[in-house]
Chain A
Amino acid sequence: MTSPTSAPVLRQAPAGDGWQRFSPAQRLTRFLVYLAIVAAIVQSLRHVEVIPEFLYDAPEQMVDLVTRMWPVEWAAYGEHVHAPLVETLHIASLGTLLAIVLALPVGVLAAHNLVPSTPLNLFAKLILVSSRSVNSLVWALLFVGIFGPGALAGTLAIAFRSIGFVGKLVGEALEEAQPGPIEALKASGAPWVSVLAFGYWPQVKPAFWSIALFRWDINVRESAVLGLVGAGGIGMALDSALNLFQWDRVALILAAILAIVIAAELVVTQVRKRVI
């Protein structure tokens, strides 16, 4: 870079090596991370199984896919797509509501300032971590095994996957609440319920609504694929269209999913703008 002659010169260290931002230990640690990343990439590249023959005719297959998808079978919407699409929205919404009901007590239990007992906090965090570590498709598989295929399994899968998300964020919001109003309520002799309702709730309300809306938005996307493992909604229609190679109907279903995903995002932005 060009610099005017009057610019101050960086002072050199006595040993002659210039100014350094990180300590040697920090540089070594960073270097190890870079090394590990490169090693992981090289290992993966060497071992991953890619069948070259499949790659050669990929453009051909793409063209084939597009010609099979076009024209989109719009006519099938009323009979085959509308009901599962609505079911998907129900799964996402009911699942989110159920998750909120189940997650609030766990979130409260996880907040150390509300429940000052480390074993109980850890227990709640264990529930939250296990809920989050299991993908919603896996939850769906489990609930299909228990309740059989259908929307009930999907709703429970969405709910159980969301407990961890909602509970964790609500717990963190509760822990960040200002102690002032809470101490004032306690000093006035307010019972526990009142402290929760008038001390904590007003402080976490904005965070709570934005968490709930955010999760609902995610759940609309996720509930669209649960049907691939039999848990109801538009995914089941997609699965059967795929199995029958009805690509024109697949295109219609994808368009429908895209439409509700965009609609959900618009609803969330609007509600957020007005309410929060």
Chain B
Amino acid sequence: MTASDAAARGGGRDPSLAPSPWSRAIALALVAYVIYASAQMELSWDRFLVGLDNAQRFFGRLFPPNFERAELLWKGLKESLEIAVLASTLGILLALPVGLFAARNLMPPWVTWPARLVIVLARSFHPVIVAILFVKAVGFGALAGILALTVASIGFIGKLLTEAIEEISDKQVEAIRATGAPFTSVLAFGVVPQVFGRFIGFATYQLDSNLRNSTMVGIVGAGGIGGTLFAAFQRFDYDFVCAILIAIIALIMAGEILATAVRAIFIDNATLRDLFRRGALRRVRHAEDD
């Protein structure tokens, strides 16, 4: 581009600052895709406006929330909490060996491949879909939810644990091996201290994520508050739906605060007193995935 071109565009702007042809092409392609996909799915502005009209009525019926059936609500919440706790425990216990076996720096290939396959399989489906299969296998109820979320936990923690173990420094492992220590001692003194902090990070993260999903697996009959929520929704009991949603959000936020506190205690060595000091929790960074 010459200087006269730039001048013709009405400014003395440096042409090197103009968007590159590549980014223009990508932007154009995205716009074209949006138009094409919207047409394919018959999304239109009219439908959106009709919806906004509905929205008014819908929110009118959501509020005020109806807490009359608090007992049902509490029972569902408790079951969700139990599902999350048990699934996280079971999932973490099972993920430890799977994650260890999948680590290429400690295990021979004939061990890592099956372990990696387990992790990939456990990760490939959304927990709600896994829950459908377990509902068929073990019937309606909390057990199906526990098993489904256990599978999800094995996949997530197994994968991250494997990555954490593969990134450890060899020096400590070598040093302990050189003393003639057996494999279990190599693990306990060479590997565990190097991955413990990260393990706490993703274990608390998984507990948090299991709590979120345990409120949802009920939609397919796998126990917890989700079943109550979906039933209320299908009966157009929107004020009860609203009450359930408020309870779920409160539960999830409480879970997030607890998870942050546990991370502060184990990763930053915080004491109870530190936790209540203002801003202590905010300093802990946490991973976000879903």
Contact = CB atoms under 8 A, between A and B. Distances in A.
Contacts of B266: 30, 33
Interface stretch (B66-74, B95-103, B134-142): B134-142
B106 interface: no
Contact of B125 (A29, A33, A147, A258): A258
B185 interface: yes
Given A90-B37, A135-B216, A146-B54, A2 B272 contact: no
Interface in A207-233: 218, 221-222, 224-225, 228-229, 232
B253 A155 contact: no
B273 A25 contact: yes
B151 interface: no
B230 A229 contact: yes
A41 B143 contact: no
Interface residues of A, number: 71
Contacts of A130: 249
Contact of A222 (B126, B138, B238, B253): B126
B37 A152 contact: no
Interface residues of B, number: 75
Contact of A198 (B17, B180, B219): B17
Given A146-B54, A229-B230, A257-B129, A30 B290 contact: no
A54 B265 CA distance: 40
Most-contacted residue by chain B among A43, A44, A152 (CB, 10 A): A44
A15 interface: no
8 contacts: A1-B189, A33-B265, A48-B146, A54-B138, A54-B141, A135-B213, A152-B43, A238-B132
Interface of B: 17, 30, 33-34, 37-38, 40-43, 47-48, 51-52, 54-55, 58, 78-79, 81-83, 85-86, 89, 124-126, 128-129, 132-133, 136-139, 141-143, 146, 176, 179-181, 185, 189, 212-213, 215-216, 219-220, 223, 229-230, 233, 238, 241, 245, 248-249, 252-253, 256, 262, 265-266, 269-273, 288-290
